[in-house]
Structure 1
Amino acid sequence: MLKIYLMTIRLIIFFLIITLIEFYAFQAVKTFTKVRWVQWVYLVVSIIAIAFIAYQFTKFDRSVGQTKMTLITLGVLLLVLIPKLILTLVLLIEDVFRLFSGVYLKISGTSTDSFLPERRKFVSQLALGIAAIPFSSLIYGMTLGKYNYKVIRQQIFFPDLPDAFDGFKITQISDVHSGSFDDPEKIEHAIDLINAQDADMILFTGDIVNTHAKEMLPWISIFNKIKPHPYGKHAVLGNHDYGEYVTWKTKKDKQENFENIKALYGKIGFDLMLNTHKYIHKGEDRIALVGVENWGVRFKKAGDLHKASEGLSKEEFKILMSHDPSHWDAEVNQHPKDFHLTLSGHTHGLQFGIEIPGYFKWSPAQYIYNQWAGLYEKYGKYIYVNRGFGFHAYPGRVGIMPEITVIELKKGKNVV
């Protein structure tokens, strides 16, 4: 009974908030233009969008999980909600000033036809102008941004890097989320970019699908075009590879899907590392490549760093693949075996933010993860967080573009 009561209260609060947002958004439109047909078009479009979103939410099936339609629905939700929230905020601020102005005029005895002064057209114009920025950005992200692949090159210096590995190049990809793809030509272009880097080794740090192994089947032939690398193609699992975010009919179904997902990595030529390590030999020298299953502060903890590094010494140079960067602060960077470089993904940079390379970087992701995009150093150890190859939930990218990372190991003084 209490559960139903709380759910009812939440629904009432939700609808009150939506009503408030819609009221203020319409006030902005009404102040901006007195043309009735424009106002009616706005109302009709808003009603259709809200009805579409509400209907799609009722159709969501937890046994299926994310689909192309849920991606579209979330995109429409953000397109509708974020600009209108901005309109609401600006007009609420104006209403505070209108209220104080009305009180002052009343106390001072100044004659006025209405207690509250009229809304100023300039304020509504300003609000609509500001709201147009995220609206157009979200449209761009859903059409062009999601496939606007960037190759990001990063040199990292280590004083104890074995001599033979000075200049060793690693390509990293992460968070493919193949179930979200809808443009084979764009994916082929991304694969061409990967091959053009001529790296020594390629590492894939997890999340090959959103949930189901079948999502990757249409894309296997394209990903098989990733050419062999001299020192191999290696991968680890991400949190989405475990099928944790849907309701399964039986445990057997879930396990079968998990086994099929693990097999996918092999089908595209990657050696999947499950809490283990291997040596990469070059000339007379070697480095250790360590791969753990997903381990996250908020998500599945299947990774076993102790098992994966068993037999390795503190002095050996080690590269760790661990999908979730929260693993680094929680366990990795103070581990007694000294993991020199950790490669992660997972955050996608929240697929939304502002980046001016070398000068400025911001995303809401930074309020969730200490390390969320790019290179970080602590205690003389490094983590690089890839911004992700694909997209999930929101069907686009704004400011934080899909990434192909090329890391060059250099022997020398530590610098960031």
Structure 2
Amino acid sequence: MLRWILFVIVYLAMGLYTLQALRSATRYPWMYYLYMILALLILGNFIYQFTVGDETGRVLNRPKSYAFGFLIAIITFNLITIFFLFSEDIYRLLIGGYRRLFGDEREFSLPERRRFLSLIALGLASLPFGALLYGMYRGKYRFRVLNYDLEFKDLPEEFHNYTITQISDVHSGSFDNRKKIEYGVSLINKQKSDVILFTGDLVNNKTSEMEPWADLFATLEAPDGKYSVLGNHDYGDYIPWDTEEAKAQNLEDLKALQRQMGFDLLLNENRYLKKGGGKIALIGVENWGRGGFKKAGDLKKASEGIAPADFKILLSHDPSHWEDKVIHDDLHYHLTLSGHTHGMQFGIEIPGWVKWSPVKWRYKYWAGIYEELGQFINVNRGFGFLGYPGRVGIWPEITVIRLRKTGKA
């Protein structure tokens, strides 16, 4: 209860500060009232959803996600505005103190400067505020296809120009627009890759979240099949369960559903993709993550029977596994496919110029292709979304990787 009281006090204090910027910038009272009504509605909805809403506790349902999204948007707006005005207040305080110290009793007031700074603050604050709203309205379904060509000296010749479509982090429990998901699934099929590989987090928490969408994802097709692994959310670790048996059954149901959808689920095991006389070892581990995430992945077990000379593709949900275990393993894993980070669903990307997201402070390898010790990893930015119900700058991704043998046209 105390934390809610403190939160409301801080939120209202931020709102009052922002209101001062509005009063300095405009003389239209309706703008003050509009801001106050909007701020109070967002606060009220957030408190309601996280206290007495339909689902309380740790279950992050759609209403809660949107309540959180709107709260983040307006807090961002407030913080940027406050930054400018607080800087101005500090400046005024220092000048006023200096004059008082040296006996200058003239009033220090620069109303035009205050109005100018308020306009600048509100203008800049409106950019991320609008972007966060756009991310919830359109950005979360702004699917894009990213294509990569990767060359390997020891790729079997039969697999030259072999294509892989990777998807990750579906998070079906967050979906709220069937037509958009239909479009995303059709876009995956449109790539006509040789194989489809899914790298975990089919649901947020429960198998039932995927059931309304299973028929759509069952239509995914590739000549050499569809393979998958589990992500940290697939185990149901983030919500309370009535019994451990119910939690275990949920995981078994999820495994069964993936198989019904046509996916070959790799649980610390491997398969061979064969083409003519050549073959590629496809290895899948259960989730292994640094920093408190489940460590069910067993790389040694998953690679049993794989020869050192085999060309290897590893499916591992969390890229920290690659950093901590895979690239230093005795076996050489030519290509690892991961997801998990979502690129934090927020950042700035201009191909060839800028690639930034706050998630880089947590994960060294957070989006796209990286190479270390002659081994590659692709970290997929995710198909779905979680928490904040949108995406800004880091759009939902379908990855297409073409394998090429070095020196072969």
Bin the TM-score by the shorter chain.
over 0.9
Identify if the C-alpha distance between structure 1 residues 37 and 360 changes in structure 2 by more than 3 Å, giving closer, same or farther. closer
Q: Say yes or no: does 1:252 pair with 2:245.
A: yes
Contact 2:50/2:57 (<8 A) preserved = no
**Alignment partner for residue 157 of structure 1, among 151, 159, 167?**
151
Q: Say yes or no: does 1:126 pair with 2:120.
A: yes
CA-to-partner distance for each residue in 1:96-125, whole Å, 9 max, x for gaps? 1111121233234444336x6556100000
Cα separation, 2, equivalents of 1:48 and 1:64: 23
Q: Say yes or no: does 1:389 pair with 2:392.
A: no
Contact 1:236/1:323 (<8 A) preserved = yes
Alignment of structure 1 residues 331-342 onto 2, 5 Å: 331-342=325-336
Cα separation, 1, equivalents of 2:207 and 2:106: 68
For residue 35 of structure 2, what is the aligned residue in structure 1?
42
Q: Say yes or no: does 1:57 pair with 2:54.
A: no
For residue 190 of structure 1, what is the aligned residue in structure 2?
184
Cα separation, 2, equivalents of 1:53 and 1:358: 39
CA-to-partner distance for each residue in 1:371-415, whole Å, 9 max, x for gaps? 1100011111111000000111111110000000000111117xx
For residue 368 of structure 1, what is the aligned residue in structure 2?
362
Cα separation, 2, equivalents of 1:104 and 1:302: 63
**1:20 deviation in Å?**
3.4
Q: Calculate the TM-score normalised by the size of structure 1.
A: 0.93
Cα separation, 2, equivalents of 1:91 and 1:166: 60
Task: Classify the secondary structure of the residue corresponding to 1:120.
Answer: helix
Q: Which moved more, 1:377-386 or 1:187-196?
A: 187-196
Contact 1:62/1:246 (<8 A) preserved = no
Task: Classify the secondary structure of the residue corresponding to 2:50.
Answer: helix
For residue 84 of structure 1, what is the aligned residue in structure 2?
78
Q: Which moved more, 1:275-284 or 1:98-107?
A: 98-107
Contact 1:62/1:247 (<8 A) preserved = no
Cα separation, 1, equivalents of 2:309 and 2:236: 37
For residue 202 of structure 2, what is the aligned residue in structure 1?
208
Identity %: 49
Task: Classify the secondary structure of the residue corresponding to 1:58.
Answer: coil
Cα separation, 2, equivalents of 1:46 and 1:210: 29
Cα separation, 1, equivalents of 2:396 and 2:98: 53
Task: Classify the secondary structure of the residue corresponding to 2:403.
Answer: strand
CA-to-partner distance for each residue in 1:34-62, whole Å, 9 max, x for gaps? 33333223222212221211121213646
Deviation beyond 6 Å, 4+ runs, structure 1 = none
Cα separation, 1, equivalents of 2:195 and 2:41: 50
Q: What is the letter of the counterpart of residue 254 of structure 1?
A: K
For structure 1, list consecutive stretches of 5 or more residues without a partner in the other structure: 1-6
Q: What is the letter of the counterpart of residue 85 of structure 2?
A: L
**1:77 deviation in Å?**
1.0
CA-to-partner distance for each residue in 1:61-93, whole Å, 9 max, x for gaps? 466712111111111111211111111111111
For residue 309 of structure 2, what is the aligned residue in structure 1?
315
For residue 228 of structure 2, what is the aligned residue in structure 1?
235
For residue 409 of structure 1, what is the aligned residue in structure 2?
403
Q: What is the letter of the counterpart of residue 224 of structure 1?
A: A
Q: What is the letter of the counterpart of residue 59 of structure 1?
A: V
Contact 2:58/2:238 (<8 A) preserved = no
Cα separation, 1, equivalents of 2:281 and 2:272: 5
**1:221 deviation in Å?**
1.5
**Alignment partner for residue 104 of structure 1, among 98, 109, 117?**
98
For residue 301 of structure 1, what is the aligned residue in structure 2?
295
Cα separation, 2, equivalents of 1:125 and 1:409: 53
Identify if the C-alpha distance between structure 1 residues 63 and 104 changes in structure 2 by more than 3 Å, giving closer, same or farther. closer
Q: What is the letter of the counterpart of residue 21 of structure 2?
A: A
**1:256 deviation in Å?**
1.1
Q: Say yes or no: does 1:268 pair with 2:268.
A: no
Contact 1:98/1:117 (<8 A) preserved = no
CA-to-partner distance for each residue in 1:167-210, whole Å, 9 max, x for gaps? 11000000001111111111111111111111111100011111
**1:313 deviation in Å?**
2.3
